[in-house]
Amino acid sequence: MLVLVAPGQGAQTPGFLTPWLELPGAADRIAAWSDAIGLDLAHYGTKADADEIRDTAVAQPLLVAAGLLSAAALGTETSAAAGAAGVVAGHSVGEFTAAALAGVLDDTAALRLVRSRGLAMAEAAAITPTGMSALLGGDPETTVAHLEKLGLTPANVNGAGQIVAAGTLEQLAALEADKPEGVRRVVALKVAGAFHTHHMAPAVATLEQAAKELSAAAPTTRYVSNKDGQVVTDGAEVVARLVGQVANPVRWDLCMETFQALGATALIEVCPGGTLTGLAKRALPGVATVALKTPDDLDAARTLIAEHAAV
Of the residues 34, 70, 79, 92, only one is catalytic, namely 92
Query: Burial level of 215, CB count in 10 A (0-12/13-18/19+)?
Result: exposed
- Work out the widest C-alpha separation in the chain, in whole angstroms: 53
Q: In three state form, how does the secondary structure of 13-47 look? A: CCCCCHHHHHCCCHHHHHHHHHHHHCCCHHHHHHC
Confirm whether 43 is a catalytic residue: no
Helix, strand, or coil here: 173? Answer: helix
Of the residues 34, 116, 146, 196, only one is catalytic, namely 196
What residue type is 143 in one-letter code?
Answer: T
- Do residues 42 and 17 make contact, with C-beta atoms less than 8 angstroms apart? yes
The phi, psi pair for 180, rounded to 5°, reads -65, 155
- Do residues 239 and 211 make contact, with C-beta atoms less than 8 angstroms apart? yes
Given the DSSP bridges, would you call strands 130-137 and 183-188 parallel, antiparallel or unpaired? antiparallel
Confirm whether 70 is a catalytic residue: no
Residues known to be catalytic: 92, 196
